[in-house]
């Protein structure tokens, strides 16, 4: 997991490529403005590994987080010697308990981002009930979004772009979602909404391969 200077999270999907949310970047093309902090949970640690962006890839279909296609890749100025987070191929990974993590706000409306990485457990909310919850606000793009919630636990502002992960039986972690949007944070009846990365797995892998 990495922290991005515009105030988002991300995950290392290849040694030189960060996967984040489409709405965290200003668009595709050359972008040398993003600073990346990796390899630490405490952003102020002297052991932090720092890198800069070179280019950004974002699907042409992206308009805004609620419209779907909310993913982007950031090519770094160098390879990082850190573990890679694999993207889930879907199926049983997209059920049950998930872990969300980030340096974002610990409550809705709080202005403060965290120095230490925080994490929490949430459970997948099926598309039907999630779409129903948001019906009055927006139509959930059910095949590109996956919802998750737990009482008092949620992603929040500043967590966007970071991963939702699941631990497999053998102990290995896979990425199931990207923090995307939601109404407020941890509001009862309004799950957090995540980019369903399994649906973009081949697009993301192909784009990352071209960047590497
Ligand atoms: C945000 O503003 C944000 N509760 C991220 C996730 C959620 C809400 C807001 C989901 O970046």
Cα–Cα dist 153/29, whole Å: 35
Reported as type and span, the H/E element at residue 11 is strand 8-14
Q: What pLDDT does residue 66 have? A: 98
**Which tokens go with 18?**
């960060």
In this predicted structure, the answer to whether residue 111 has a pLDDT above a threshold of 90 is: no
For residue 73, which of 20, 26, 109 has the smallest C-alpha distance? 20
Average pLDDT, the chain: 98
Question: Which residue, chain included where needed, has tokens 């879907």?
Answer: 90
pTM of model > 0.85: yes
In this predicted structure, the answer to whether residue 18 has a pLDDT above a threshold of 90 is: yes
Beta carbon of 105 within 6 Å of any ligand 1 atom: no
Domains of the chain: 2-84+200-211 (2.40.10.10), 86-198 (2.40.10.10)
Q: What is the mean pLDDT of residues 32-44?
A: 98
Catalytic residue numbers, as ranges: 23, 70, 160
Atom of ligand 1 nearest to the CA of 187: 4
Residue 21 phi/psi, 5° resolution?
-90, 145
In this predicted structure, the answer to whether residue 211 has a pLDDT above a threshold of 90 is: yes
Residue 91 pLDDT level (bands cut at 50, 70, 90): very high
Q: Which residues, listed in sequence order, are joined to residue 196 by a DSSP beta bridge?
A: 177
Contact at 8 Å (CB) between 141 and 84? Answer: no
Q: Which residues, listed in sequence order, are joined to residue 97 by a DSSP beta bridge?
A: 123
If you measure from the C-alpha of residue 193 to the centroid of ligand 1, how many angstroms do you get, rounded to a whole number?
A: 8
């Amino acid at each position: 997991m990495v922290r991005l200077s515009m105030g988002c999270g991300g995950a290392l999907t290849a040694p030189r490529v960060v996967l984040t949310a489409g709405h965290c970047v200003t668009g595709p093309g050359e972008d040398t403005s993003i600073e990346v902090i990796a390899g630490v949970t405490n952003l102020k640690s002297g052991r932090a590994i720092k890198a800069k962006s070179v280019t950004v890839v974002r699907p042409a279909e992206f308009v805004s987080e609620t419209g779907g296609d909310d993913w982007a890749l950031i090519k770094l100025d160098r390879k990082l010697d850190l573990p890679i987070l694999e993207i889930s191929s879907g199926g049983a990974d997209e059920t049950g308990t998930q872990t969300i993590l980030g340096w974002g706000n610990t409550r809705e409306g709080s202005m403060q981002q965290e120095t230490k990485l925080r994490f929490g457990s949430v459970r997948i909310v099926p598309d039907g009930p999630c779409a129903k919850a948001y019906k009055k606000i927006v139509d959930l793009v059910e095949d590109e979004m996956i919802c998750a919630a737990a009482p008092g636990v949620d992603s929040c502002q500043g967590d966007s772009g970071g991963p939702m992960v699941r631990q497999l039986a053998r102990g290995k972690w896979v990425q199931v979602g990207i923090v995307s949007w939601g109404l407020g944070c941890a509001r009862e009846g309004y799950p957090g909404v995540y980019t369903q990365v399994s649906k973009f797995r081949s697009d993301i892998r192909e784009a990352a391969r071209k960047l590497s």
